[in-house]
């Protein structure tokens, strides 16, 4: 199950229902979580993590747990389930790691119980739990509108080399949106839109043009809450990244490289700069949730 980055995130004004309309362009990238689902003799849902983490809930606060609960109720499943998460996508990193685990759980349970659901049906189930979940099921490159859950595939040529600067501590998505509202208080906020320049760059497979078109309306808010992000962005751009932005609500920072050699140079530069502890390379787009092994 891949993580995602937002090549563009345009955020509209706060609505009366407490949500913001968005227009975003997602790309699934090659940083993966693995979700193993098996039948259990114990009733209910047991959730494990293959890696020790103080930040990963293993109860009803975990989106994978909520997804399993939803599927059990919707399809009247009586069996007990054991779910094991092996996480590589950063927790609270703006890369939809929790949503990816939920999407994988929905896809995995469809396979395990032979439900025969279509990709569209799987995405609709996911959308009831979280706005990012439908995209984590579809993968590739896509536009997300509404709350980000209305997915339209985008024609994207070629593959892109990304360098991801990961933070040890996450950012709360609601807190970032709240800070965004504070920073924009008193301003006229335009309806969200998708950039023509970005879509043209993807259609042409033009990495240079794509780098120039990257944008994120939540970036000022994420940088306000975590000022070190500005330094990370400056270092990456100083070392020749084609473009860089905070992914989603942050704090992961994504840099676009010219090619794999350039990506490796960026990794070395960012690591040696001392401004970030963990830097990884990734490519995109990649497919969404897939069943690797079926019982």
Q: What amino acid positions are annotated as catalytic residues?
A: 4, 132
In angstroms, what CA-CA distances link 169 with 89, 133, 179, 252? 13, 22, 18, 10
Q: How far apart are CA 204 and CA 215, in angstroms?
A: 19
Instruction: For CA atoms 41, 42, 43, 45, give the dihedral sign.
Output: negative
- The kind and range of the H/E element at 35 are strand 34-40
DSSP 128: T
Mapping DSSP to helix (H, G, I), strand (E, B) and coil, where does residue 9 land?
Answer: strand
Q: How far apart are CA 129 and CA 71, in angstroms?
A: 11
Is there a contact between 222 and 246 (Cβ–Cβ < 8 Å)? yes
Is there a contact between 45 and 83 (Cβ–Cβ < 8 Å)? yes
DSSP-derived secondary structure for 200-262: HHHHHT-HHHHHHH-EETTHHHHHHH-THHHHHHHHHHHTT-SEEEE-TTSS-EEEEESSHHH
Which of 180, 275, 162 has the alpha carbon at shortest distance from 222? 180
Is there a contact between 11 and 246 (Cβ–Cβ < 8 Å)? no
């Amino acid at each position: 199950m891949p993580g995602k980055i937002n090549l563009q995130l345009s955020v509209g004004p706060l609505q009366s229902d407490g949500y913001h309309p968005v227009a975003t362009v997602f790309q699934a990238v090659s940083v993966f979580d693995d979700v193993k689902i098996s039948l259990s003799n114990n009733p209910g849902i047991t959730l494990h993590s293959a890696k020790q983490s103080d930040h990963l809930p293993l109860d009803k606060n975990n989106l994978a747990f909520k997804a399993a609960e939803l599927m059990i109720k919707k399809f009247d499943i009586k069996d007990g389930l054991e779910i094991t998460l092996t996480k590589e996508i950063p927790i609270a990193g703006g890369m939809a790691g929790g949503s990816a685990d939920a999407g994988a759980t929905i896809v995995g349970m469809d396979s395990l119980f032979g439900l025969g659901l279509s990709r569209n049906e799987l995405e609709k189930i996911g959308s009831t739990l979280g706005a990012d979940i439908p995209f984590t099921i579809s993968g590739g490159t896509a536009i997300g509108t509404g709350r980000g859950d209305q997915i339209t595939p985008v024609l994207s040529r070629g593959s892109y080399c990304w360098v991801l600067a990961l933070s040890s501590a996450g950012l709360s998505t609601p807190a970032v949106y709240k800070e965004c509202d504070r920073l924009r208080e008193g301003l006229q906020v335009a309806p969200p839109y998708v950039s023509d320049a970005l879509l043209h760059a993807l259609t042409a497979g033009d990495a240079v043009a794509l780098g120039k078109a990257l944008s994120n309306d939540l970036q000022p808010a994420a940088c306000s809450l975590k000022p070190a992000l500005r330094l990370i962005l400056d270092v990456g751009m100083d070392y020749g990244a084609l473009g860089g932005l905070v992914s989603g609500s942050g704090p992961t920072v994504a840099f676009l490289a010219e090619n794999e050699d350039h990506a490796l140079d960026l990794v070395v530069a960012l690591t040696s700069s001392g401004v970030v502890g963990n830097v990884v390379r990734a490519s995109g787009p990649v497919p969404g949730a897939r069943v690797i092994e079926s019982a």
